[in-house]
Amino acid sequence: MMQSKFVLFMAAGLSLTTMACQKEEASSDADSGAMPRGGSGGRPSTSDSGPNGGNQMNGGAGGEGTGNGGAGGNIVDPPIGGDGGGGGGAGGNPVDPPGDIPKGGVCDPADDQCDRGLVCVNNGVDEAMVAIGVCLSLCDTKADPNGCENDELCNSFEECVADAASCEGFCIPSDDCEVSDPSLACGGPASCFFLPPITLCDTTEGTAIIGAECGLSDPEPATHCAPGLACVGGICEAACGEADACGEGEVCVDYGPQVNDLNFKICHKQCDAHGQLGCMPEEVCVVGTVADIGGEGTAIGYCVAGDFTQGVDTQNQPCTPTADGSTYWGSCTAGHICETLGLPIPDDMCMGFCTESNTSLCTDNSACLQGIFRAEGLGVCLGNCDVWGANDACGEGKTCAFLTFGNDDTAVIGLCFEGEATVATGEACEVTNEDFGVSNCEVGHLCAATVAGGDTTCIKLCEVAPETPNGCPAGLMCRTGIFGADQNGMGGNERFGICSPNQ
């Protein structure tokens, strides 16, 4: 079964297998020059004749010096005359030039007559059960650009070698099948097959209903979607109705940006990646972001079939990524991602997914940090200490530093760093880690200068939120708009700030 390929979280993709007749180039003779379009004659000075030319598209060049010219290979153009006293190479047996059938033209897979840069790909049989083909462009699946147009998919002739520099294939053109009305592109009742950046017409009279598994390789009708549906990620899905309306528990997903802006909006049944709810026992709910599914909106959950063994590590615990990259959670429990953030967390660690309305996985002093995925509302639980309390969570010899991220007012993150935190409010302090603002101030403070060029002192941090215990002492106000502000002081965080005189 084919599964969709995500941007952050990848599942296995489908490789179409199609018989094709590839053009072959004649190999050069052992004593010819290694020329891409014809071997050259040798360069003897006293011999009677030069080496023979290669069996390539141009004839061999004559020998140079006093000897006779090299014998020509199998040629299209006449041989090149030898330099000095050498004679011209003798003409060999002619090679048929490439055909003149243009791209998209009908061809015979057994006798490829397609034009240069094209290949005759088997496209089924005619009424007499004789194989027929179509001339398609050659491409390289490992190259960028790969040689295909924007509305074509580069499909390899055979499975690519992992460490190979190139992998030859052919360009499959899009049928431009639109799920809103497949018959417009397919010429009659059909279902659409979603294979970015193209969509294909599946004219098999399928019987698979919404939610059933689907594919292209199996001829059985039960593995093909019923007319009017679309096979997306190996599951039959329905088009969004009027005003992009879908049923309860579903979301209308616009896949159009992935397939050249075709009308391809699908009603997708969501699952809960936090609690692993909404999928069959043999499935797991994975998170798909806006970048993965196209369009704009919130992140959604996908039920993915397979043997996805769940781990045992939870929030803030070290984890081991999956060796083959088939999952994003590695040794973490469901709903978490196993990822490294670099400094100050250099090792892979479990972080739960969260939204503003669901922070159930944000345990162990973590908070929901949003804005790191290209998906509205989706975040991860980050942090391992309480920036407003004691630094006991970090242990002896460490301190809890206060971090905010841009103008995101949904969370204040506390992370443990090496260092002692003993300096009180208003006292002179020292910054020990400039990258993350770590200092020797007590937890819940920032080491900074209140005026340009002034001495640094410990300034109490604060937040503006209903019934917060993290306000400022009497006579001071919580000055916000500082963290996350641009160079002009605009766009700062309006929830977290510093305590300053009330003026």
Nearest to 229 by CA among 256, 196, 190: 190
Instruction: Compute the mean pLDDT over every residue in the chain, rounded to the nearest whole number.
Output: 75
On whether residue 190 sits in a domain, the answer given is yes
Question: Rounded to 10 degrees, what is the CA torsion of 125, 131, 136, 139?
Answer: 110
d(CA 70, CA 52): 5
In a domain? residue 363: no
Burial class (CB in 10 A: 0-12, 13-18, 19+), 307: exposed
pLDDT for residue 468: 87
Q: Which two tokens stand for residue 135?
A: 């001339």
Within this chain, do residues 112 and 84 fall inside the same structural domain, yes or no? Answer: no
Which among 173, 199, 214 is the end of a domain?
173
Asked if residues 292 and 298 have their Cβ atoms less than 8 Å apart, the reply is no
Same domain, 149 and 215: no
Amino acid type, 481: G
Whether 135 is in a domain gets the answer yes
Predicted confidence at residue 29, as pLDDT, reads 37
Residue where one domain finishes, among candidates 269, 301, 318: 269
Can the peptide bond before residue 501 be classed as cis, meaning omega within 30 degrees of 0? no
Asked whether residue 492 falls in the same domain as residue 422, the answer is yes
Q: Which pLDDT does position 17 carry in this prediction?
A: 30
Secondary structure class of 222 (helix, strand, coil): helix
End-to-end Cα spacing for the chain: 66
Q: How far apart are CA 478 and CA 383, in angstroms?
A: 23
Q: 3-state DSSP call for residue 431?
A: strand
Per the domain annotation, does 340 fall within a domain? no
Determine contact, residues 221/227, Cβ cutoff 8 Å. Answer: no
pLDDT of residue 343: 61
- Do 122 and 152 fall into the same domain? yes
Question: How many domains, the chain?
Answer: 4
Residue 307 falls inside a structural domain? no
> Which residues face 137 on adjacent strands?
118
Question: Based on the domain organization, do 143 and 196 belong to the same domain?
Answer: no
Question: CA torsion angle for 127, 128, 134, 139 (degrees, to 10)?
Answer: 110
pLDDT 10s digits, 210-258: 988 898 888 899 999 999 999 988 889 999 987 888 888 788 888 888 8
Structure tokens at 449: 């200068």
| 312 inside domain | no
* 5 domain residue, yes or no: no
Residues 199 and 128 in one domain: no
* pLDDT tens per residue across all 503 residues of the chain: 222 222 222 222 222 333 344 444 333 333 332 222 222 222 222 233 333 333 322 333 333 333 343 343 333 333 333 344 444 444 444 445 578 999 999 999 988 899 999 999 998 888 888 889 999 999 999 999 999 999 999 999 988 888 889 999 999 999 999 998 999 999 999 999 999 899 999 999 899 999 888 988 888 999 999 999 999 888 899 999 878 888 887 888 888 888 988 999 988 887 877 777 788 777 778 776 544 444 444 567 877 776 666 789 999 999 999 887 778 888 998 788 898 876 667 789 999 988 777 888 899 989 888 777 766 677 889 998 988 876 577 888 888 888 766 556 666 788 888 888 889 999 999 998 887 888 999 998 989 988 888 899 999 999 888 888 889 988 899 998 888 766 666 667 788 889 998 75
> In terms of domains, do 491 and 424 share one?
yes
Do 135 and 189 share a structural domain? no
The 3-state secondary structure of 29-98 reads CCCCCCCCCCCCCCCCCCCCECCCCCCCCCCCCCCCECCECCCCCCCCCCCCCCCECCCCCCCCCCCCCC
Beta-ladder partners of 287 = 301
In a domain, 403, yes or no: no
Same domain flag for 46 and 82: yes
Q: Is the pTM of this model over 0.85?
A: no
Based on the domain organization, do 38 and 91 belong to the same domain? yes
CA–CA–CA angle 391, 393, 399 (5° rounding): 40
Query: So what's the pLDDT on residue 253?
Result: 82
Same domain, residue pair 93 and 103: no
Q: What is the predicted pLDDT for the residue at 127? A: 83
The most distant pair of C-alpha atoms in the chain lies apart, rounded to whole Å, by 108
128: its two tokens? 């007499």
Domain span including residue 480: 415-501
How far is the C-alpha of 279 from the C-alpha of 97, rounded, in Å? Answer: 58
**Which among 97, 121, 151 is the end of a domain?**
97
Contact in structure between 227 and 191 (CB atoms under 8 Å): yes
Same domain, 200 and 219: yes
The kind and range of the H/E element at 292 are: helix 290-293
pLDDT at site 328: 83
Bridge partner residues of 288 (DSSP): 300
Kindly give the pairing relationship between strand 191-195 and strand 152-156. Answer: unpaired
CB 72 within 8 A of CB 90: yes
